[in-house]
A and B are shown apart, each in its own frame.
Chain A
Amino acid sequence: MLLNFKIISMKKIALLLAIFAIGLQSVFAQTREITGTVTSAEDGLSIPGVSVSVKGTTLGTITDLDGYYVINVPQDASTLVFSFVGMRTVEQPITSSTLNVSLQQEMVGVDEVIVVAYGTKTKRALTGAVTSVGADVLENQTAVSPLRAIQGSAPGVNVVTSGGQPGENPTIRIRGIGSVNASADPLIVVDGVVFSGNLNSISSNQIESINVLKDASASALYGSRAANGVLLITTKGGTYGAKEAKISVNAKAGFSNPAVDIYDLVSAEDFMKYSWESLRNTGIYTNGLAEADAASYATNNLISSLRYNPYSVSNPVGTDGNIVSGAELMWDTDWHKEMTDENAFFNEYTLSAQGGADNVSYFITGNYLNQDGSVIESNFERYSGRANISTKLKEWLELSTNNSFSKSLQNYPNQAGTSYTSSLQWVYSIANVYPLYARDAQGNLKLDAAGQPIYDYGNAGGGQSVNAVRPQLGGENAVSSNLINDILYTRTNLNSASSLKFQLYKDLSFKTTYGYERYLFDAYEYDHYKYGAAASVNGRVSQERTVTETASWTNALNFNKTVSDHNINADVIFETFDYKYDYLNAQATGYLPNVKVISGSTVPESVGGYLTQERLTSYLARADYNYKSKYYIDFSFRRDASTRFAKENRWGNFFSVGGSWIISDEGFLQSSGSSDISLLKLRSSYGELGNNRGIGYFPYLGVYETGWNNNDNTGVLQGGVVDPDITWEKSSMFNVALDYAFFNNRINGSFEYYNKKSIDLLFDKPLAPSLGDTFVSTNIGTIRNSGFEFILNTVNVHTTDIYWTSSFNISTNKNEILKLPQDEIINGTKKWMVGKSIYDFFIREYAGVNPSNGNAMWYADDENGGKTVTEVYGDATQYYQGSSLPDVTGGLSSYFKYKGFDLNIMFNYSFGGKIYDYSYAGLMNSLESAGSQLAADIANRWQKPGDITDVPKLINSNNDYNATSTRFLFDNDYVRLKALTIGYNLPETLIERVDLDKVRIFLQADNLWTYQSHKGIDPEQNLAGTTDNRSYIMKTISFGVNIDL
């Protein structure tokens, strides 16, 4: 020491003294050498490649092939950190110059810190049900909306993606369906701030974890908005004192196609024959003609019935039902092919920097993504960026700011529903005999002035007798509409959450967080000036613009103290939340060609705009206590006031209590020498939460609504009767679980049961319509959701070269109605009744085809309490036919690593749900309405007396053959290979030469393979188990490269 003083110039003594005062030890740069070997605790074998670093510095090395390391550390260094993938990180105090360390496998991670409501906790301390889905799961999927990535990885969470439009968010239900008429969506919180925008604005690479809060203990601090669970999304951050910034460059590109095949449809030739048969049957069975007369009737009337003739002769189907010789087929339109693009292109690029210095940490990233959908013109393009920075301004003051910006453009041709331009409906409805391009009566293409073919809209005027007026979806051509019309959604999202954390005393801190969000949604539609629905008004543009602005301010006081074996953690929080929804729309008609903005219009059609505001004021408190980190108890309370309710009803109290017991830490288990048990933990919770979302902003006010203008006179209309005492829905939740880990954590998981009772659910209480209103919405229903969740994780092999793990989860949910405003409510294909679920089908039961006449039959109750069959649909009895909700859902995943290669696969599955397939019902029509497309399965139809089949005859007359019945209700079990990734990390010896840290190339496949019990549509449709002409979820195969430098 004295020696060192001597070699320093006197001028610097003053400075040195100052530094000395701050930290004597750090002044002396003298180093010493530490050596040792790192081995696996399990088998004692040495581990190469372990990272060894000096805590709090950038100094580090890695172990060699024999697990041996040498590191020079400063004299003052006190701790070495050993870390290795799949192993628990060890911080070893430097007690001698030789440090041999053995690493434990990391599986359970009980000491892992995870994000919970308004804070963090160790997994050990959790009393509630929280499932954490990490970046590793997200990285292996090409999910444009990060929410889709949690499917199959979080038991108790039902994720349903409706349709294949890129950029759409799935429907998520946590632990069953807790609301019928209000919102049943979980609350979404991003970095501690309630999120009101669209989650497709956040790229997956920004996300560190998505934590699903499922029970009362976990979510009670969100009070009046938490009854349907909470998704806590945490974005990535940097690390204080990181050695060096990690810069990552990722690129991925690939192709998408529908994940499952569409139904087999019939060709134009077959369709002509089937149509002929339907007319002949009308002749025989409706008009009572002799068979020969019926055949010639069919031959002579076929074209006037279809109104189009794809053949070169005027009566192309002969009286024998076959195409006459010499008839030449002029077109056979494959509408599915015209409507979709094969190999839709996908590409995504990410650049990020992550790191920090002593007093600052950061994560900064930019991402670009562009994905085409399979329906023509369907596309999603997104630019997103994020900067998360934390800095220690003072020893007692930390500033953190998380900021993100994103812009996305979504081309969204109609891909669901029954509007004439609905893409898949078109494919399911229009037979191949109808041409893509307009034809004259002889079948020749009509050309425009430029000599180009014109799309056929099926409404040619001028009295053209054939090939003019299409009997199905006349006046439209959805292929053309997708091309010449625009539906474009533009979203910009600005999110910012900044906090200041004051360390007031050793045990007391105060944190103030301000969150701001601005979400701009622009929905633009252009209908063509010359063709389609707006042709008569020379085109239409409609544009809606909404600005959603949210501001929240959270002030939290935290007290955390340990006195011997007693640990106390308490929070008192005050929070305000302000939400504004500012809507503006304009719609106008009359455009010149190529003019597609409202300014170019001649006739305004509608304008509108309004401002909606919601506020919430809340007091929160939480107290956690544990004794010896073995017995835990916690209590959460939130008092909310919501502007959605009348002044006298706006305050509500919500709470939870939870406890856990680490059984495996008890002496009786430890002393039995049962080292096979790594962890046994029993936990349970109970609480009462609310749901104020999806019930309108002023549901308690009876008002006169504007917007009912009559010509030039302003108009208002009384808005109907309301319940002034309307209030939030409430859920009481009970949860009990056992967490386990055996054999040094090589087997671990949990087993969980929940019972959630949702009361005061909003239902429409029917009123006598003669009073002028048909219903009043009031808090009247009760539903229970209960179920089991089971997780099993295993480390199958863990050697120096091979690392193989598996994970399986399964969950059940039982949904039961306990109280309704009426004895029963019919809701589409469902009937609500006490004791049944809200998704139990209640429809007629198909009894097959009468072999003697080809008519469809259904079951009906007879007078003696038995069942009989009837050919009259209206006489058939409706029965409960099972639920659309699956009995079990879950996932299975496995990770395999061999040297530089790795393989990650993930399946998700759903069993026991049913689906009612309207699309297939439409495709199995009897040609009651001429020209409606058929599925190839129609080949099994009844043709003559004596035929045994379950497909009724074809007939061009009124019938109920394909009316709603079990004929089209199918089991909807499926297993999907949701994610498959094969990766290879280039050897370090190779990449070090070019000064890179990591180079990884990979092949990734999403939704590559699907097993489904009912084919033709995607198994994911909606919660209610009904189809709606949705486009198909896509499988995407992509190739990518990650480079870290």
Chain B
Amino acid sequence: MRNITKLLIGVFLMFAFASCEDFLDEPKPTDSLTADAIFSSTEGVDAYLSGIYRNIRGQYEYSPDVATTDVGGIYSMYFARTIKGSDLIQNSWYNFDYAHENREPTYRRVRVTWQFLYDLINHANTLIEGVENGDLADSEKAEYIAHGKALRAFFYFQLALEYQLSYAVDPSAPAPPIYEKVELEPKGMSTLEEMYTLIVSDINDAIAGLPDTRLNKSYINQKVAQGLKARILMAMNQDWDQVEAAAKAAYGGNPATALNAAEYLQGFDDINASEWIWGMNQQADQSNYYYVAPHAFTDHYNDAYYGTYVDANFVDQFSETDVRNLFANFYDANPGDYDEYVTSKFVFSFEADIPLMRTAEMILIEAEALYHQNRPGEAHDLLFVLQSNRDENAVKSSATGTALLEEILLERRKEMYGENGIEWFDAKRLQRGISRSSNHRVVVNLTPNDKRFYLKVPQTEIDSNPNIDASVNDGR
């Protein structure tokens, strides 16, 4: 007995004091990595870039417990712009955006767009800093930093569009805060001037540093960066020569080979379409399911929300032989009913890809840039290349002067409705209003530079940022 006792007490004490910390050090997270592991190899940085792109197109969770269908990834920001126009009519999710009501400091669109873009900006800054301080070769670093800047330019450009009027209205107008690196202390508001200076500088650096190769068509390469530059400068309503050059570089410069009318009938769901310069590629195991706009809303033939209709006045703009005339009175509605027309432009499925930039847009940007440079003949010719591609019976108009500009702008809507809010973008940058016909469920007319063209600053920012107080929304 005695010996047993001693033995047991000895064993007990041994286990009590030996190798305790080792036992505790052993558990480690198995599904995550540290920063060192990311920025020490091109595979690691590619993985982080891929993660950022996935976040751009994902179902963004703006709060741990809330996720709703109308605030998914970048596509839902674009679709909210789309249904703020007059061409489409909404009766589903996005109804608040459709009614131009979704702009108060506590509202979902206001909070999520801000948070989503700043989250992505923070990732772009983390990427740039991580690469700068990492172990890659200088040439590799330069390319990744250019990529980071392209993303950052894209995100800040969206912020500038969403939270202030057009640049041309007042470059000194307050714009959201600018962070060029990862920061811990929040900053105050910037100006549109400062923000566009950064955007232009970033996109120029990106074009200089990015190759044309890429992991797949959902990543930004030099062509996409050129296309973004064209959009950015036209939003600023300046440097039309650079707009022309950038747009041309983006689609390749040969409009005849850049267009393929047959693709217009294929459902806008395949990133491999030759007209797509940039898109988001969904696959069965990486689907946003029913979140994906516009497909889940405009498609009335495949089961989803059946939520978006087309204004008959817009339908009337399409000739019978236009390949883009994809409208039908699906519900046998009466003339003038909001649900009279639906479009089959976008085919919904869980694997539907999302277009972000197409050659047709770039051709139309080039045409507009030519027009603004007093080269109407070239502009008109280029416009007709597109028109005759879309409609074999197209007849070149006799429009001149502003009528020609109007024709280009209408062509932009006809070509790109549903994709990225082209009508809203044009009305905003050209300081026009948006008028809705009586066919609409909610008839709201925006005057030029209407406050409803931009959002207020979210209350969450005001509450937590000592450099921004509630007066930021005075007059907004």
**Cα of A767 to Cα of B286 in the assembled complex, Å:** 30
Those of A1012-1043 within 8 Å (CB) of chain B: none
Nearest to A765 among chain B residues (CB) is B464
Q: Which residues of A contact B463 (CB under 8 A)?
A: 766, 822
Cβ-defined contact, A510 with B16, below 8 A: no
One of A165-173, A318-326, A356-364, A602-610 contacting the partner: A602-610
Q: List 9 additional contacts besides A604-B285, A610-B31; criterion CB under 8 Å.
A: A461-B301, A474-B306, A614-B27, A703-B29, A708-B51, A711-B283, A717-B54, A772-B118, A774-B63
**Could you say which of B20, B29, B465 contacts A770, with CB atoms under 8 Å apart?**
B465
Q: Among A469, A555, A707, A715, which residue has the most Cβ atoms of chain B within 10 A?
A: A715
A459-B284 in contact given A615-B23, A703-B34, A716-B48 (Cβ < 8 Å) = no
Tell me if A769 and B26 are in contact (CB < 8 A).
Answer: no
**Cβ contact within 8 Å between B55 and A535:** no
Looking at B20, B32, B179, B186, the one whose CB has the most chain A CB atoms below 10 A away is B32
The answer to the question of A713 belonging to the interface, with a C-beta cut-off of 8 Å to chain B, is yes
Contact of A557 (CB < 8 Å), options: B12, B303, B461: B12
B177 at the interface (CB under 8 A from A): yes
Query: Known interface pairs A606-B285, A706-B31. Does A771 touch B25 (Cβ–Cβ under 8 Å)?
Result: no
A-side contacts of B8, CB under 8 Å = 502, 504, 510
B395 contacts the other chain (CB 8 A):
no
Residues of A within 8 A of B32 (CB): 701, 703-706, 716, 719
| Closest Cβ–Cβ distance, residue A468 to chain B (whole Å) | 9
Q: Is A70 an interface residue (CB 8 A)?
A: no
Min Cβ gap B253→A in Å is: 29
Within 8 A of A (CB), among B174-196: 176-177, 179, 182-184, 186-187
Q: A475-B303, A708-B54, A774-B115 are in contact. Are A504 and B47 (CB under 8 A)?
A: no
Residues in chain B near residue A650, CB distance under 8 A: 24
Given A604-B284, A615-B24, A768-B461, check contact A703 B33 (CB 8 Å). Answer: yes
User: CB distance A771 to B186 under 8 Å?
Assistant: yes
**Set A504, A641, A703: member contacting B24, Cβ < 8 A:** A641
Q: Is the CB of B12 within 8 A of A770?
A: no
Which residues from A are CB-within-8-Å of B256? none
B residues neighboring A (CB under 8 Å):
1, 4-5, 8-9, 12, 15-16, 20-21, 23-35, 37-38, 43-44, 46-48, 50-55, 62-63, 111, 114-115, 118-119, 121-123, 125-126, 176-177, 179, 182-184, 186-187, 215-216, 218, 281, 283-287, 301-304, 306, 330-332, 349-350, 458, 460-461, 463-465, 468
Which residue of A has the minimal Cβ distance to B119? Answer: A772
Does A567 touch B at the CB level, under 8 Å?
no
Instruction: State whether B30 touches A771 (Cβ < 8 A).
Output: no
Hey, which chain A residues are within 8 Å of B4, CB to CB? 502, 504
Chain B nearest Cβ from A463, distance in angstroms = 6
Knowing A705-B32, A714-B47, A770-B461, the reply to whether A617 touches B23 (Cβ < 8 A) is: yes
Q: Does A710 contact B (CB under 8 A)?
A: yes
Cβ-defined contact, B12 with A698, below 8 A: no
Contact with B along A165-191 (1 / 0, CB 8 A): 000000000000000000000000000
Q: Does A240 contact B (CB under 8 A)?
A: no
Could you give 27 example pairs across A and B, Cβ below 8 Å? A606-B285, A613-B26, A617-B24, A619-B16, A643-B27, A647-B25, A697-B27, A701-B29, A704-B32, A704-B35, A705-B32, A707-B31, A708-B55, A709-B54, A711-B216, A713-B47, A714-B50, A715-B54, A716-B32, A716-B51, A717-B54, A717-B55, A718-B48, A769-B461, A770-B465, A771-B179, A773-B122
Minimum C-beta distance from B70 to chain A (A): 15
Q: How far is A612 from B32 in the complex, measured between Cα atoms in Å? A: 11
Number of cross-chain contacts by CB at 8 Å: 207
Residues of A within 8 A of B332 (CB): 463, 465
Q: Which residue of A lies closest to B1 (CB)?
A: A396
What's the least CB distance linking B334 to chain A, in Å? 9
Contact of B284 among A504, A555, A589 (CB under 8 A): A589
**Cβ of A78 < 8 Å from any Cβ of B?**
no
> Does the CB pair A770–B350 fall under 8 Å?
no
> Could you list which residues of chain A lie within 8 angstroms of chain B, going by C-beta atoms?
396, 459, 461, 463, 465, 469, 474-475, 502, 504-505, 510, 512, 535-537, 555, 557, 574, 576, 589, 603-607, 610-615, 617, 619, 641, 643, 647, 650, 697-698, 701, 703-719, 766-774, 822
Are B184 and A771 in contact, CB atoms less than 8 angstroms apart?
yes
Closest to A823 in B: B463
Q: Which residues of A contact B46 (CB under 8 A)?
A: 713-714
Question: Known interface pairs A589-B284, A772-B118, A774-B115. Does A704 touch B12 (Cβ–Cβ under 8 Å)?
Answer: no
Contact A717 B1 (CB under 8 A): no
Q: In the complex, A716 Cα to B302 Cα: how many Å?
A: 33
Contact of B33 (CB < 8 Å), options: A706, A711, A767: A706
Nearest chain B CB to A450's CB is how many angstroms away? 24
Contact A710 B54, beta carbon cutoff 8 Å: yes
Which residues of chain B are within 8 angstroms of A705 by Cβ–Cβ distance?
A: 31-32
* Nearest CB in chain B to that of A605: its residue: B285
Closest to B95 in A: A958
Residues of A within 8 A of B218 (CB): 710-711
Q: Which residues of B contact A461 (CB under 8 A)?
A: 301, 303
Q: Determine which of B20, B114, B216, B464 lies in contact with A641 in the assembled complex, contact meaning CB atoms within 8 Å.
A: B20
Closest to B187 in A: A770
A641 and B27 CA atoms in complex are apart in Å by: 13
Contact of B122 among A475, A610, A771 (CB under 8 A): A771
Given known A-B contacts A617-B20, A706-B31, A772 and B50 have beta carbons under 8 A apart: no
8 Å CB contact of A463 from B16, B31, B54, B330: B330
Candidates A605, A719, A769; contact of B118 at CB < 8 Å: A769
Name which residue of chain B comes closest to A553, CB basis: B15
CB closest chain-B residue, reference A555: B12
Q: Is the CB of A574 within 8 A of B15?
A: yes
Considering only CB atoms, which chain A residue lies closest to B126 in the complex? A718
10 closest A-B pairs by beta carbon, nearest first, are: A772-B122, A768-B186, A708-B51, A715-B50, A703-B32, A717-B51, A715-B51, A613-B27, A768-B465, A710-B50
Q: Is the CB of B33 within 8 A of A504?
A: no
A698–B461 alpha-carbon span in the complex (Å): 28
A393 CA / B225 CA spacing, docked (Å): 81
**Complex Cα distance A774/B459, Å?**
12
